[in-house]
Every structure is written in C-alpha cells, then in structure tokens.
Structure 1
Amino acid sequence: MNAPSQQEKSRIVLVTGASRGIGRAAALAFARAGAHVVALARTQGALEDLDDEIRALRPDDDSPATLVPLDLRDHAALDRLGEALYRRWGRLDALVGNAGVLGTLSPLHHVDPKEWDDVLAVNVTANWRLIRSLDPLLRASAAGRAAFITSGVASRADLRAYWGPYAMSKAALDAIARTYAAETLNTSNVRVMLVNPGPLRTLMRAKAMPGEDPQTLRPPHDLAPKIVEICSPDWTETGKLYDFPTDSLLSFRAPAPL
C-alpha cells in the first residue's frame, strides 16, 4: 500500500454508524489512508474497540480518531456536534452518512407508527440535520465531500414488497443528497455522492435475508476503498450514484413523458 499523501493525512472525516458493517470498514479505510476519523455510533464499547484497531494501524499517531457516542435520533445533539467540530478544527473534509435502520419488514398497513417514525428519524431526518449542522464546515474545507449510503430498493420498491419504510426512507435520502449536490455545485467546492453497496455481509442484510448464506456475499471492506476515493480531493463528480455491484457511476434520469 502506498504511503498516505500529506493531503490525505490532514483530512478530517466523519463516519456515522462507524461501529460495525460498512461504517466500521470505511472508518478503518480512512484511518489507513491517514485521515483523522470522527467515528459516530450509539455503542460506546464498539466505538472503543474500533479506536483500538485504528490506534494499532497508526501507532505513531497520538490522536488518529475521535469517538462520538451519539444516537442519531437525538437531533439537537447533531447541532451541537457541528459546533464542537467547528471549535476544534474549523472545518470538515468529508461526511459519510452511513448509519441506517431497516425496520420490520411488513405490509404497509401493519407497520407500527413508532417504528415508521424511527426509520424516518435515522435514515432521513438525521442526514438532513447533519447537512444542516455540517454544511458550513464542509464549505470551509478546500475539498468538502459527502457520501450517503443508499439502497437499490430506493428506485425498485416494486421488487421489494414489505420493505415500505426502508424503501421510502432511502428514496427520500436520494432526493436530499441530489438536492444538496445541486445547491453546492456552483457555490462551493463540496461534492455530494450516493453509494449503493448492494448485498454485503452485514448484520442488516442478515436481518433482511435470514435464509441467505452470508459467505456468498462480499464483505464491507471490499467497498470501503471506494468510499475513501469518493471522499478524496481528487473526486470531482457530484449528484450521481456509485453502484458497487456493477462498479459503475450512474446519473439519475427524469421520468419518461406520459
């Protein structure tokens, strides 16, 4: 592996849902690239395990990571997070909006209202609150980047009956990210991308597909280097979808005329 460039070493990267799965793999990949990782997750113990692993990767670095034990449903805390990052660094170089919840797979008319609200709060509202809180910090970066983890079900809900809350929330996240990309395109150096990981060997996938052999799936660390690339200063695309299963960059299309 090539040594991290000085530019990579100086980057401050926030990863949500960093304690497991895609978020953990991304946090470790950013640490290997030399970035300072701000790792956000609900579970203090899992974050401390991640911190131990990052420190093992960077034994000569006194402070390779900052741990943020926080529930994304605590939206006021997300506002305070932006203020804390501003006071410490005055900028944020990359945001990886990875954290998400599946909810219970169920017919729409059986979905519990509280669970509906929870899926919305984590998958949709929290990402908007993060943008609201962190946008000034991303704009203060010489190359602010944001990558949000979406799902193929966002555009193909017709193939996933009973996934209503999750599919709806990811479709809403797509719209949020594309709107943010349009708003930052000509007014900043911020670039915004969506990432579809496809089926990976994660706990969420196991919950959604309990009969599936996880060993037939690619692990999250296969995707992580691409997330690092998308969040690098060299990445210039914005408002597009990176599809990991096909390793392709996709543009969103307008609906066909009636």
Structure 2
Amino acid sequence: MTVNLKDRIALVTGASRGIGYFTALELAKAGAHVVACARTVGGLEELDDAIKAVGGSATLVPFDLGDMAAIDKLGGSIFERWGKLDILVANAGVLGTISPIGHVEAKVFEKVMTINVNATWRLIRSVEPLLLKSDAGRALILSSSAAHKCKPFWGPYSASKAAVEALARTWAGETQRTPLRILCVDPGATRTAMRAQAVPGEDPTTLPHPSEVAGALLPLVGPEQSETGKLFIVRDRQIVDYRMPE
C-alpha cells in the first residue's frame, strides 16, 4: 500500500535506533518532514544522513524523555516553526529489569514508569493541540503483548504498557468527534537491542528486522486511516489482527 505523506510533519520518539529509526526513515521516504527525538546524538545524525540519502528531510531534537520540561517546550517549538503536527509516533521506551516484582529496585521501577508512561502522557499533553490543527492528525502509540500476557518477572514493563494503552484508548474516546485518529500497535518480537536484553539466548536472525516492522506501521499513520481507539498487532511483517476496545 502506497502512503503519501507529502508536506506532513511527523514526530518520532526513540528515533536513533530500532523501530523508531526505521519508522522515521519510512515516514521520510513517504514525503513527511520528520522531527526525530532521542538521547543518542550519533544515532540521530546517522538517521539524518539516511533520510537525506532518500531525498527526505528531518529536524533532530536530542533530549532525554525523562526531561519533562523539554517535552513541554517541544510542542511550543513545533508550533512556532510549523503551526501544526500531523503525525505522532510515540515509540521510545525502556525495559527495566526482568526480575520478580519484589526484587525490582525502586529506581528501576520509577524509570520505567517515567519514560514509558509519564513521558507519553506529557507528550500527549504537549502535542494534542498541534495534532488537532492538522486536517488528519494521526497518533501511533507503541505497546507490547506484555501488556496483556503479564508474564512472570516482566512486572514493570507489562504494567507500563498496559498503562500506555489505557491512556491511548481514553485519549481516542475524548477526541473521537475530531479528525484526530489514535491507535496502539504491538509490533511483536523484533530484532532490537531491547529484545536482545529481554531474551538474551534468542537467535536474532529468526526475528523480523525493525525495517520490516516499520513498513507495516506506515499505513496506520496515513490520512486514509480512519480507525481510532484500537490495538493493532504486527505479525509476520504485516498487520494481521486487531482487538476492539470493550
């Protein structure tokens, strides 16, 4: 499916590597100007080079999503330069530790909640007015099957992704009478650094590359996409299922 994002402004968090990197690249290939956010300057610069190589354009915004004041300023900066935002891809997240709940250090739990949940809420608050100025605002919130499986030892990460889905579905309900469409997506097991950290004995070559997952995500942020408040699932490099909110 061809997605035309010419003259669209897209904000991607966690854009320096993995799914965020390749989603940003796919957005640029489709014609969007990408506002790429991440902590790692080197990774953002590599992304910028890759985007320029395909004829696209990007604005790099290096900062830590734990910096809530920076998230607040981001919305204002986007408004001053473009006056709107067409696409949000809230991709950045941290795993924490795979450990019994009672053994998780407080600082680890708090970091997972800060980056995965608090920062997502702060980002929503910062850019919602900009997305509503678009004729077809689209928000894609990255989730995980961990939000539903709640496997032993995955407590902090599972709880954070369940919270993110709740935020997204609530936001979708609040904006359903507007042109803004909001989706969650579970990208599935993907060949990323986070996956290697979570499942260290796994053969990464058996998993889809993040570039393949990014290609599947692109139609979810196009102007033609009309669903809101749903969770889509990527399996075998394509969207194969979704769950309706109850």
TM-score, scaled relative to structure 1: 0.92
- Matching of residues 96-107 of structure 1 within 5 Å: 96-107=89-100
- Residue 250 of structure 1 corresponds to 242
Q: CA deviation at 1:164?
A: 0.4
Distance 1:183 1:240 in 2: 14
Structure 1 residues 253, 83: closer, same or farther in 2, change over 3 A?
Answer: closer
Q: CA deviation at 1:253?
A: 4.9
TM-score, scaled relative to structure 2: 0.96
Q: 2:205 aligned with 1:215, yes or no?
A: yes
Distance 1:43 1:253 in 2: 36
Distance 2:50 2:98 in 1: 34
Instruction: Point out where structure 1 has 5 or more consecutive residues left out of the alignment.
Output: none
Q: 2:64 aligned with 1:71, yes or no?
A: yes
Maintained 8 Å contact 1:16/1:97: yes
Distance 2:42 2:140 in 1: 26
- Residue 195 of structure 1 corresponds to 185
Report the structure number with the largest CA radius of gyration.
1
Give the letter for the 1:167 counterpart.
Answer: S
Distance 2:15 2:120 in 1: 15
Q: CA deviation at 1:249?
A: 3.8
Q: 2:21 aligned with 1:18, yes or no?
A: no
Q: 2:189 aligned with 1:224, yes or no?
A: no
Q: Deviations over 1:236-255 (max 9, x none)?
A: 0010111101633423454x
Maintained 8 Å contact 1:177/1:194: yes
- Residue 165 of structure 2 corresponds to 174
Which of 108, 111, 122 aligns to 1:129? It is 122
Q: How many residues align?
A: 244
Give the letter for the 2:48 counterpart.
Answer: D
- Residue 164 of structure 1 corresponds to 155
Q: Deviations over 1:110-148 (max 9, x none)?
A: 110011110000100101000100000000000000001
Which of 41, 52, 55 aligns to 1:55? It is 52
Distance 1:134 1:77 in 2: 12
- Structure 2 counterpart SS, 1:101: coil
**C-alpha RMSD of the superposition:** 1.4
Distance 1:17 1:80 in 2: 17
Instruction: Point out where structure 2 has 5 or more consecutive residues left out of the alignment.
Output: none
Maintained 8 Å contact 2:35/2:61: yes
- Residue 141 of structure 1 corresponds to 134
Distance 1:225 1:190 in 2: 22
- Structure 1 counterpart SS, 2:28: helix
Structure 1 residues 230, 253: closer, same or farther in 2, change over 3 A?
Answer: closer
- Residue 41 of structure 2 corresponds to 44
Distance 1:143 1:9 in 2: 13
Deviates more, 1:244-253 or 1:189-198: 244-253
Give the letter for the 1:83 counterpart.
Answer: G
Distance 2:115 2:76 in 1: 20
Distance 1:241 1:226 in 2: 14
Maintained 8 Å contact 1:19/1:50: yes
Structure 1 stretches (4+) deviating beyond 4 angstroms?
A: none
- Structure 2 counterpart SS, 1:211: coil
- Structure 1 counterpart SS, 2:224: coil
